[in-house]
């Protein structure tokens, strides 16, 4: 789960901040358990999933409710047991196996905070837990022996939602991890940029990204989106074309790294020797920075999203892509043809982190604006929330064709749009840690520390 190097200052910061992080996880879990009527919590890391009719398994990803306790992303069928008032107990599944390498006994800055047991199978795990679990809750995958363990509830929604809600505000330890995930991601992006400049294929650019991060593909928080030319218009483009394209126009790369279970989510767009597309990227970069400058505790994310549409309308107008003003472009739905996704989301142990719509820890939902079904965050920002800021403009044939003949289409400057189709689109995405008066831009800081922009 770690990159190729771990600078001494990082090791020291992790050492210092993990204890308080765990204390805070214990305290909030104790409050949630008390509110929901449970005496303890058993959290499962997840089970391996096997390929249909084969004995191989898919790449394992530990569940986020487990990773919030311990930075162990690669230990299936392990558990954390927590009972308020006692140290958390970690049961690491370490089978006797000569087909695979069993996990090493855990090591590192966090281990001394746990009562660690190495268990060979489910029976050994059960034996390392209290005799009765009748008042305890369980979060994780089902498995054959689980009913016989006698837990009070399996994946109880009220408890899970309470624990999700508080994950939005990060502890200082989590911010250390997210900064490092950004540092690794920025290294990957710089390597990818160089591969693009050298004429690399999408696949070659991804390989450069992985090498730059020092991570395997399965260690990334999501599959990189590496889109050359018009493929930038496919929002979650999943192909990694191995052949170099006949002509090189642009690269949209949305790729993040992971550190200790925490994700970065970074997008950059580059023009290859086209001044007008280059100017549009610069304009979008300024727009993105203006949106970042408006982020601080207390701001309703739905307002940030609306402002993004207004600013996008201005960019479209300035670039002569549309013929009406920004207000009209927003009111008629025109900006949504060019920007059909949300302006950002919570980020943490999952790239699209949980709890984005919750009205309170007890429940209730904050609705999305009617025109924005893809917005993933509707909460008011609080200090130490980590969010992405990812405005974009795309030339998506399907969405453009849908409005071509109607009143919205009459406001589009079609020859200008046609001229940009070969570039696909632009997205610029940074990760922001919210403060009382503004935000820390984890991504730009990471690029700057590497001597880049």
Of 372 and 390, CB closest to ligand GLY: 390
* Among 174, 162, 182, 160, CA closest to 20: 174
Least distance (Å) between residue 140 CB and ligand GLY: 26
Our CB check for ligand GLY shows the closer of 91 and 226 to be 226
Contact 229, 423 (CB under 8 A): yes
Specify the residue, 88 or 232, whose C-beta has the smaller distance to ligand GLY. 232
Strand-pair category, 363-365 with 358-360: antiparallel
Binding site partner of 440, from ligand GLY, Mn ion, none, Cβ cut-off 5-8 A by kind: none
Least Cα distance to 318 among 270, 286, 274, 280 occurs for 280
* Cβ distance to Mn ion smaller for residue 36 or 253: 253
Instruction: Give the distance, in angstroms, between the CA of residue 267 and the centroid of all CA atoms in the same chain.
Output: 12
CB 253 within 8 A of CB 268: yes
* Residue 182 interacting partner from ligand GLY, Mn ion, none (CB closer than 5 to 8 Å by kind): none
Spatial contact of 384 and 170, defined as CB atoms under 8 Å apart: yes
Q: Does 350 bind Mn ion (CB under 5 A)?
A: no
* Residue range at the interface with Mn ion (CB under 5 A); choices 6-14, 55-63, 90-98, 260-268: 260-268
Residue 78: name its binding partner from Mn ion, ligand GLY, none (Cβ under 5 to 8 Å by kind). none
Smallest distance from the beta carbon of 444 to ligand GLY, in angstroms? 16
Kindly identify the residues of this chain, within the stretch 385-444, that bind Mn ion according to CB under 5 A: 388, 429
Q: How far, in Å, CA of 80 to CA of 92, rounded?
A: 9
Q: Does 265 bind Mn ion (CB under 5 A)?
A: yes
Residue closer to Mn ion, measured from CB, 122 or 222: 222
Closest contact distance (angstroms) between CB of 265 and ligand GLY is 5
Rounded (5°) CA angle 67-70-74: 65
Distance CA 229, CA 424 (A): 6
| Shortest distance, position 254 Cβ to ligand GLY, whole Å | 5
Question: Per CB under 5 A, which region of 30-38, 68-76, 136-144, 265-273 contacts Mn ion?
Answer: 265-273
Rank residues 174 and 350 by Cβ distance to ligand GLY and give the closer one.
Answer: 350
Q: By the criterion CB under 6 A, which residues form the site for ligand GLY?
A: 222, 254, 265, 351, 390, 429
User: Considering the complex, what minimum distance in angstroms separates the CB of residue 61 from ligand GLY?
Assistant: 16
Picked from Mn ion, ligand GLY, none, the partner binding residue 222 (CB below 5 to 8 A depending on kind) is ligand GLY
Q: How far is the CB of 427 from ligand GLY (least distance, A)?
A: 8
Residue with CB nearest ligand GLY? 254
Q: Are 62 and 49 in contact (CB under 8 A)?
A: no
Question: Among residues 254, 350, 353, 430, which is the contact residue for Mn ion, using CB under 5 A?
Answer: 254
Reduced to 3 states, what is the DSSP secondary structure of residue 151? Answer: coil
Q: Which residues on neighbouring strands pair with residue 136, listed in sequence order?
A: 40
Smallest separation, CB 236 to ligand GLY (Å):
7
The three-point CA angle 93-94-97 to 5° equals: 130
CB 318 within 8 A of CB 279: no
The reply to whether 174 sits near Mn ion by the rule CB under 5 A is: no
Q: Is the dihedral of CA 332, 338, 341, 347 positive or negative?
A: negative
What is the closest distance, in whole angstroms, from the C-beta atom of residue 168 to ligand GLY in the complex? 16
* Cα Rg of the chain, angstroms: 24
Minimum CB distance to ligand GLY, residue 258 (Å): 13
Integer CA distances (angstroms), 243 to 76, 170, 205, 208, 212, in order: 37, 42, 11, 15, 21
Site of interaction with Mn ion (CB under 5 A): 254, 265, 267, 388, 429
């Amino acid at each position: 789960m770690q990159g190729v190097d771990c600078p001494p200052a990082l090791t020291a910061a992790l050492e210092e901040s993990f204890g308080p992080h765990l204390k805070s996880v214990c305290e909030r879990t104790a409050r949630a358990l008390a509110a929901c009527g449970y005496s303890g919590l058993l959290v499962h890391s997840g089970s391996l999933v096997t390929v249909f009719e084969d004995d191989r398994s898919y790449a394992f990803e530990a569940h986020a409710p487990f990773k919030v306790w311990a930075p162990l992303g690669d230990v299936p069928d392990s558990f954390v047991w927590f009972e308020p008032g006692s140290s958390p107990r970690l049961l690491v599944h370490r089978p006797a196996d000569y087909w695979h390498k069993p996990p090493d006994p855990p090591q590192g800055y966090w281990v001394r905070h746990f009562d660690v047991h190495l268990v060979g199978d489910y029976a050994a795990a059960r034996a390392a837990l209290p005799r009765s679990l009748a008042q305890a809750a369980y979060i994780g995958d089902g498995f054959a022996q689980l009913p016989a363990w006698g837990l009070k509830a399996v994946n109880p929604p009220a408890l899970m939602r309470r624990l999700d809600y508080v994950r939005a505000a990060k502890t200082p330890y989590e911010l250390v991890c997210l900064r490092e995930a950004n540092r690794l991601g920025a290294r990957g992006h710089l390597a990818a940029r160089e591969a693009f400049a050298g004429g690399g294929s999408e696949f070659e650019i991804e390989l450069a990204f992985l090498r730059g991060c020092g991570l395997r593909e399965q260690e990334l928080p999501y599959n990189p989106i590496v889109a050359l030319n018009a493929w930038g218009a496919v929002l979650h483009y999943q192909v990694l074309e191995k052949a170099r394209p006949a002509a090189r126009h642009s690269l949209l790369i949305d790729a993040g790294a992971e550190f200790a279970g925490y994700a970065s989510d970074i997008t950059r767009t580059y023009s290859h020797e086209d001044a007008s597309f280059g100017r549009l990227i610069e304009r979008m970069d300024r727009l993105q920075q203006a949106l970042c400058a408006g982020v601080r505790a207390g701001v309703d994310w739905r307002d940030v999203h609306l402002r993004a549409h207004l600013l996008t309308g201005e960019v479209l107008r300035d670039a002569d892509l549309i013929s009406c003003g920004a207000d009209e472009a927003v009111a008629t739905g025109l900006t949504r043809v060019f920007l059909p996704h949300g302006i950002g989301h919570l980020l943490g142990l999952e790239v699209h982190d949980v709890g984005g719509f919750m009205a309170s820890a007890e429940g209730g939902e904050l609705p999305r604006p009617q025109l924005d079904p893809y917005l993933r965050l509707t909460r008011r920002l609080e200090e130490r929330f980590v969010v992405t800021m990812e405005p974009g403009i795309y030339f998506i044939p399907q969405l453009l064709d849908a409005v071509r003949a109607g009143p919205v289409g009459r406001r589009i400057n079609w020859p200008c749009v046609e001229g940009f189709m070969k570039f696909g689109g632009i997205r610029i995405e940074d990760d922001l840690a919210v403060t009382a008066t503004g935000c820390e831009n984890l991504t730009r800081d990471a690029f700057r520390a590497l001597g880049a922009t």
